[in-house]
A = this chain, B = another copy of it.
Amino acid sequence: MRSLNDSTRGRVLFGGDYNPEQWPEEVWPEDVRLMREAGVNSVTLGVFSWARIEPRPGARDFGWLDRLMELMAGAGIGVVLATPTASPPPWLGARHPETLPRDEDGRTVWWGSRQQFCPSSPVYRRYAAALTEDLALRYAGHPALRMWHINNEYCTHCWCDGTAEHFRRWLRERHGSLDALNESWGTAFWSQRYDRWEEIIPPRRAQYMRNPGQVLDFRRFTSDALLECYAAERDIVLRHTPDTPVTSNFMPLWSGQDAWRWAEEEDVVSVDIYPDPKDPLGGQYNAMLGDMTRSQARGPWVLMEQAAGPVNWRGVNHPKPRGLNRLWSLQSVARGADAVCYFQWRQSRQGAEKFHSGMLTHAGEEGRTFQEIKRIGADLARLSPEVTGSQVKAEIAVLHDWDSWWADQQDGRPSSRLEYPGIVRAWHRALWESNLPVDFARPDHDLSGYRLVVVPHLYLLGDPAIANLTGYVRDGGTLVSGFLTGVADPDDRVRAGGMDGRLRDLFGIRTVHEWWPLDAGESVECDGFRASLWSEELELSTGESVAAYRSGELAGSPAVVRDGRAWYVSTLPEPEALRGLLARIAEGAGITPTLQGLPAGVEAVRRGALLFLLNHSPKAVTVPVPGAYHEVLDDRPVDGPVELDRYGVAVLREVTP
């Protein structure tokens, strides 16, 4: 079957989005010269080219793209070819206003930016399919073609009447009958019972909180509606090129697409990662998204977009200090990436993204940024033979689930301060800082290969997931769960007792009397640490209180609970405490960190036969490493401590004496 290996062919992909339609053709040979100088071996073409290829309905202008494909083939640069369906031309909205999205308030979303299409619109889908067909037909078998890139960052939603019809079809399939839907959504409350399918609409502007079941199903539907768009285009290109892998780039930690479900439909999993250079934990963020994407891909993955310098969509857009781009690029490789790509090759001079950096910035080839790009290109060339296709091994699984996220992030909850991705991040950070490698998994995945399963916070858990978790512990696994987990079933119906009874049994909890969410700036004292965000009033059965609350209304009652190999953490401990707790639990489960005794800020990761040392601090450090190694980037033997520059990286291959 198709896989990323068909695209990499043994070389880590290095390059980025290339939008040469912005420039006069005289610039193209210059681009190729500089690409080769930088070691670029892959470009993504066509992402925003719909209006160029089809300037008016049904027209086709492929000449410019033909010339580009030839140019790339001649230069030995592979092409990731995009279907340009993310950004319809103005004529589509002007001639077919029903293709324009309507937001929750009924407002039309106009052209003049990008992504102004209703995913449920048959007209949009028809035009997109026709264009995809012609594109695939034309470039099938082209020597430069390495991968298909369907659309771009699927994210548009719509609340229009056409979407309502589509939503109803989806609901009929999911629920079968109106009675089942009414039961699932709990419409008996607030007099919301639906008497006819035609009465159902997307959750639009309302007087007060909307029905949670309706909102949850609409989020499921929108992910599925976009997936239909993707699958339709994928099926078209595969008819023409059955051996070329297909992907669509994810926005990570974005709630709109269930990446687990999407990944099943892709040959290659690719992602766009933009840590904030000013974030002191940007390296952790990058690591986490790498871990997530690798887990979705079940192996090597594609970093489809990152920025060589600043982006232009934050309030304040910081450049990357010298060395940081290289550090994070190699960190992605360490965590399984077989492609290190950027948005975009040459920084725009016009348009909305002209202040988003490129590999080649406005400062040009003498600019600091391009100099670093060249160094990264050289690094990747050296690494390629040793890493491509190799695996990262983890004994810990962190559970992460879109259904739970969607149910969790609604109005009318105990606290509006719970931010699902932030909680996942806090738990990942604790493991990352201990150099404990992790995979991510969905709660119904097979977990038997892991020694430890970590649940940061899964508000919604279906019966199979609960059976999976209890069975996992019964079969000898160690499980640690954060607060407010297992509360709701897949209809967002609160399970009897507030937390599912099987989970209460697992953790040895008799009763959850009350949840005590904490205010902003509030913390609570526990045995040996402070905690924030959340606390719970628990009464234990067989569980043991490992740490109790020591201040506030809950003083004396259990905060961290353990029943054998099952742990429950009813609050959010401060970072050092959570790190210590998880390290202790991991140790108890027989897991050892990649390396121990590292200086602060130094990360160690193994991929295949290689050990990556990554210095996330702006100061040089010395890392003691036991054993004898060969450093791959500098191609030199290492026997003794390794010196790492600010943001420095060493890649070590063990030397067997």
Contacts and interface: CB of A to CB of B under 8 A. Distances in A.
A109 interface: yes
A553 interface: yes
A195 B90 contact: yes
A366 B511 contact: yes
B351 A190 contact: yes
A417 B314 CA distance: 11
Nearest to A552: B321
Interface stretch (A119-127, A202-210, A232-240, A376-384): A202-210
A312 interface: yes
A48 interface: yes
A354 B322 CA distance: 52
Interface string A509-534: 00111111111100000000000000
Contacts of A114: 190-192, 207-208
A367 interface: yes
B48 A189 contact: yes
Given A207-B115, A316-B518, A411-B352, A189 B19 contact: yes
Given A191-B49, A355-B414, A207 B109 contact: yes
Given A511-B363, A537-B368, A48 B186 contact: no
B511 A188 contact: no
A497 to B, nearest CB: 6
Contact of A112 (B106, B198, B204): B204
Contacts of A537: 319, 368
A456 interface: no
Contacts of A356: 412
Interface stretch (A51-59, A66-74, A332-340): A51-59
Interface string A81-111: 0001001111100100000010101111111
Contacts of A227: none
Nearest to A317: B414
A318 B414 CA distance: 8
A1 interface: no
Contacts of A353: 189-190, 209, 412
Contacts of A194: 90
This protein's copies in its complex: 3
A508 interface: no
Contacts of A189: 19, 21-22, 48, 348, 350-353
A168 interface: no
B316 A190 contact: no
A481 interface: no
A486 interface: no
Contacts of A513: 363, 367-369
Interface in A184-228: 185-196, 198-201, 203-214
A164 to B, nearest CB: 11
A448 interface: no
B350 A491 contact: yes
A309 interface: yes
A116 B193 contact: no
B207 A315 contact: no
Contacts of A409: none
A87 B319 contact: no
Interface in A126-160: 156
Contacts of A520: 316
B350 A113 contact: no
A416 interface: yes
B413 A517 contact: no
B350 A313 contact: no
B186 A517 contact: no
A315 B19 contact: no
B87 A190 contact: yes
Contact of A414 (B312, B364, B496): B312
A550 interface: no
A282 to B, nearest CB: 14
Given A363-B513, A412-B355, A492 B191 contact: no
B191 A363 contact: no
Contacts of A619: none
B310 A414 contact: yes
B318 A516 contact: yes
Contacts of A111: 192, 199, 201, 206
A156 B519 CA distance: 31
Contact of A110 (B204, B309, B498): B204
Given A22-B188, A192-B90, A415-B316, A213 B113 contact: no
23 contacts: A56-B196, A87-B190, A91-B195, A101-B207, A106-B107, A106-B108, A110-B205, A111-B201, A112-B201, A112-B210, A185-B350, A190-B351, A190-B353, A209-B352, A212-B350, A212-B351, A316-B414, A317-B414, A356-B412, A361-B514, A363-B497, A363-B511, A363-B512
Given A186-B354, A354-B494, 13 more contacts: A21-B188, A55-B193, A88-B191, A103-B205, A106-B108, A112-B210, A116-B206, A209-B352, A313-B412, A317-B517, A319-B514, A349-B496, A350-B491
